């Protein structure tokens, strides 16, 4: 199993550009999450999904959108990138049933200039 | 009420010493408390976790102590090694979902 994979690893965007961060898991997990990690701030939940076709906002959803058309994929869309979105983005997944380990991807480092 | 506080922000320990990181939460509905370890350039990885029906859980050199009445929990790393140098995050969740993370503690273990 590859676990949780994310692409790209690094990206530089100009203000106002858009992009999609890709996330795929091969563990048949129902729950998937997007976090952003800023220095000294821990991880903040952006969006999460409890299964295909179901998504919900987390703590910091503004400026982002998600979709979940399959169990495996959970892309994060940034529209009209802003410098405040400069961060490291992590995708994660857990299985159904509660109290399960949350597996993280390797992260995408995004810089908006 | 969703916040998880964590201290210290950074910690320097000599090899063989004990590293202690503390966390506090406010929402008594939280029922799952994991600790994550993160190395530079990597995603966090689960280290150890506890549920509030026990006061302590030990896995090798890593121990979680949990005080439900005080709404606090801590990570103890015994016989700390240079390879333990990493950032540690505590977290809290409902039924193992929708995690709230602390801000992290950067641990440096000196050889």
pLDDT digits (tens, 9 = 90+) for B60-73: 999 999 999 999 99
pLDDT score recorded for residue B84: 97
Tell me if A90 and B49 make a contact (CB, 8 A cut-off). no
Best probe of the B interface among A4, A102, A105, by most B CBs < 10 A, is A102
Does residue A105 sit at the B interface (CB-CB below 8 Å)?
yes
Chain A, residues 2-21, CB within 8 A of chain B, namely 4
For chain A, what is the mean pLDDT? 93
pLDDT score recorded for residue A101: 83
Q: How far is CA B54 from CA A5, B67, B77, in A?
A: 34, 9, 19
Q: What is the pLDDT of residues A91-111, one digit of tens each?
A: 999 887 667 788 999 999 999
pLDDT band of B5, cuts 50, 70, 90: very high
- Which residues of chain B does A33 touch, with a Cβ-Cβ cutoff of 8 Å? 99
Mean pLDDT, residues B51-78: 95
* Other beta carbons within 10 Å of B35: 23
Tokens of B79: 């016989």
Tokens of A94: 């857990």
pLDDT score recorded for residue A2: 81
pLDDT above 60 for B1:
no
Tokens of B26: 């406010």
Among the listed residues A2, A1, A6, the one whose alpha carbon sits nearest the alpha carbon of residue A74:
A6
pLDDT band of A39, cuts 50, 70, 90: confident
pLDDT score recorded for residue A35: 96
């Amino acid at each position: 199993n590859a676990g949780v994979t994310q692409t790209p690893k690094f990206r530089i965007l100009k203000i106002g550009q858009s992009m999609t961060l890709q996330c795929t898991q091969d563990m048949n997990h129902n729950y998937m999450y997007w976090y952003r990690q800023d220095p000294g701030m821990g991880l903040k939940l952006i969006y999460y999904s409890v299964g295909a076709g179901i998504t919900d906002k987390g703590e910091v959803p503004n400026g982002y959108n998600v979709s979940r058309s399959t169990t495996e994929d959970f892309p994060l869309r940034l529209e009209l990138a802003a410098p405040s979105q400069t961060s490291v983005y992590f995708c994660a997944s857990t299985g159904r049933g509660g109290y399960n380990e949350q597996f993280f991807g390797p992260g995408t480092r995004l810089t908006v200039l | 009420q969703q916040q998880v506080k964590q201290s210290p922000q950074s910690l320097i320990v000599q090899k063989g010493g004990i590293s202690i990181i503390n966390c506090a939460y406010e929402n008594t509905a939280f029922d799952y408390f994991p600790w994550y370890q993160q190395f530079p350039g990597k995603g966090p990885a689960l280290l150890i976790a506890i549920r509030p029906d026990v006061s302590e859980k030990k896995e090798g050199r890593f121990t979680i102590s949990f005080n439900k009445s005080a709404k606090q929990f801590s990570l103890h790393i015994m016989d700390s090694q240079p390879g333990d140098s990493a950032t540690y995050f505590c977290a809290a969740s409902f039924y193992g979902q929708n995690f709230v993370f602390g801000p992290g503690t950067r641990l440096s273990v000196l050889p």
